[in-house]
Copies of this chain bind each other. A is one copy, B any other.
């Protein structure tokens, strides 16, 4: 085997561009200036200056914010408070596999709302609600969705919010990729369109580094209070040191420059992957053309057995995520999530070529 290893499983940032030196300086500064404070126990909501900064960005009171050890822990906390076994939870189909696992563990009965090119099928959603189905919450990744890369259109965002109000369910908006738009115009978030019905989750994992484990949620005040209490009862408080580093990084103007740097590296990788797909996959699969984020999800036209495809892929040193993890009810045999951020352009081109050859041979 002389084929180099290509990991289409790597839905992560490229560590080569982590701002290590800057983060080291920020860590020193935080420990020097706020050492006694960040090293002690403290209130669960998070390092107060970072909480204030987020509050300012979103124009909300800081009591509505919980900063935690990454977004997934927040999804888990929400699930433990709001989902009783047997409760209906809507997700986009496909959706983020780790969130699906969290909802299932809470005992949710998951219902997948299909994705169209401009995001979830709101007619299907509306129909289910009109027939009397009562979801407690709808988990949506509206911007550069994981795993599909799709963006929910403005018109559909408005309709989702209207339905959430009419039928009284929570929208959980998970938005880690929102700021990683490589072209085009940002759409209003679901939170901006209807913050009484939305818990908005975001994170610095994709904008600075996942290892800082700093995600946050903004919720209506009464909900925020429940999230805070539940979180304190679970882990007392998150690491203020990490949150202090994030805050210092922002104060020094480094978040903005880092975002520019990330886009400079990631945007050409997205284009390279789109070109490679056009060249090698045009009769084999369908995909959307995202303007940002980490992923392009492709749907194979031919019926394929995932197990066979993954096995053969491994034999040519190509690693693929199991598409079925992104679906409820065992669908996903024909779905392949292709991440492009942590791969070089050479790896992207070779990986798509190898994948196309395999699909043709099935």
A residues lining the B interface (CB < 8 Å): 12-13, 15-16, 18, 20-21, 23-24, 27-28, 31-32, 35-42, 69-70, 72-73, 76, 98, 101-102, 105, 209-213, 233-242, 245
Taking A76-B234, A98-B233 as given, write out 11 further A-B residue pairs in contact, using a Cβ cutoff of 8 Å, ordered by the A residue number: A15-B40, A18-B35, A20-B39, A23-B31, A24-B35, A27-B27, A40-B211, A42-B211, A69-B239, A72-B236, A213-B237
A257 to chain B, nearest CB (A): 17
A38 to chain B, nearest CB (A): 5
Which among A15, A37, A70, A211 has the greatest number of chain B C-beta atoms within 10 A?
A211
A212 touches B20 (CB 8 A): no
A238: B residues at CB distance < 8 A? 69, 213
CA distance A12 to B102 in the complex (A): 33
A38: B residues at CB distance < 8 A? 211
A18: B residues at CB distance < 8 A? 35-36, 39-40
A40 to chain B, nearest CB (A): 5
A211 touches B41 (CB 8 A): yes
A28: B residues at CB distance < 8 A? 24, 27-28
Partner of A105, one of B32, B42, B98, B233: B233
A15: B residues at CB distance < 8 A? 35-37, 39-40
CA distance A242 to B244 in the complex (A): 12
A236: B residues at CB distance < 8 A? 70, 72, 98, 210
